[in-house]
Amino acid sequence: MNIIWLGHGSFRIEIGDQALLIDPWINGNPMLPEDQVPAAIDGATHILVTHGHFDHTADSVTISQKTGAPVSAIFELGNLLFAKGAIQGHAYGRGGTIQLGNVTATLVPASHSSSIGEDENPRYSGQECGFMIRGEGKTIYHSGDTDIMADMQWMGDYYKPDIGILSAGGYYTMDMAAAAYAARHFFHFGTVIPCHYRTFPTLEQSADVLRDGLPGVKVIEPEVMVPIPL
């Protein structure tokens, strides 16, 4: 398995027979060099989208059309993206699980907001979500954009994820201290990877607080387009 950060909340996860793109923000992502874009999306088999905000959906349709990768998201958002031209994957609901080759992806709660569109008329795009991704005998929790929430208690107990990819930049999501608290109190991760940070000055720039708050857990600060083998 390789987990590859594309900057911000965007990831490429090579797991089992899949190359999954999660919230792939390509154009305008200040962390992803333009010359790295082809490698970032090459061979993508499926696109998973957590919620409707532009920095998570802006390129989903274009990438889907270019690579042939279907898009899956919560019901309302999935159907909005299909109507814009994305190849149809699954428009499903929280608690639902889809089979992607020999990998599964379950929609789970997050605590944020979700709308799609610009200017004065953003459209409601369903509830914000995270994903539990299972393959190769492991479970990855991609939190999506979220704060700490009580749902994390049952999610940790029920899904028992080994790897946490946690939004931790603050301002729009929980910060590093909050992410450490959530990981420590609700989960038993072996590995934690922070995201949704370093993109803008308003966001946290270092994961030191997260690392200090999780003794005994492998906290990996990702580098853009550098594979993390797990």
pLDDT digit string, tens, across residues 51-82: 999 999 999 999 999 999 999 999 999 999 99
Question: Looking at residue 121, what is its pLDDT?
Answer: 78
Question: Looking at residue 117, what is its pLDDT?
Answer: 81
The answer to whether residue 132 is domain-embedded is yes
The answer to whether residue 229 is domain-embedded is no
The answer to whether residue 228 is domain-embedded is no
Q: Does the structure show a pLDDT above 70 at 181?
A: yes
The answer to whether residue 174 is domain-embedded is yes
Confidence of residue 25 (pLDDT cuts 50, 70, 90): very high
The answer to whether residue 152 is domain-embedded is yes
The answer to whether residue 65 is domain-embedded is yes
The answer to whether residue 33 is domain-embedded is yes
Query: What is the average pLDDT value for the chain, to the nearest integer?
Result: 96
Q: Does the structure show a pLDDT above 70 at 5?
A: yes
The answer to whether residue 230 is domain-embedded is no
DSSP string over the chain = -EEEEEETTEEEEEETTEEEEES---TT-TTS-GGGHHHHHTT--EEE----SHHHHTTHHHHHHHH---EEEEHHHHHHHHHTTPPEEEEE-TT-EEEETTEEEEEEE--S--EE--TT--EE----EEEEEEETTEEEEE--S----THHHHHHHHH--SEEEEE--SSSS--HHHHHHHHHHH---SEEEEES-SSSTTS----HHHHHT-TTSEE----TT--EE-
pLDDT digit string, tens, across residues 118-176: 666 788 899 999 999 999 999 999 999 999 999 999 999 999 999 999 999 999 999 99
The whole-model pTM stands at 0.97
Q: Does the structure show a pLDDT above 80 at 39?
A: yes
Q: Output the domain CATH number for residue 94.
A: 3.60.15.10
Look up the domain containing 51 and give its range.
2-223
Structural domain count, the chain? 1
Question: Looking at residue 139, what is its pLDDT?
Answer: 98
Q: What percentage of the chain reaches a pLDDT higher than 70?
A: 99
> Do 131 and 107 form a contact (C-beta atoms < 8 A)?
yes
Q: Which amino acid is at 105?
A: A
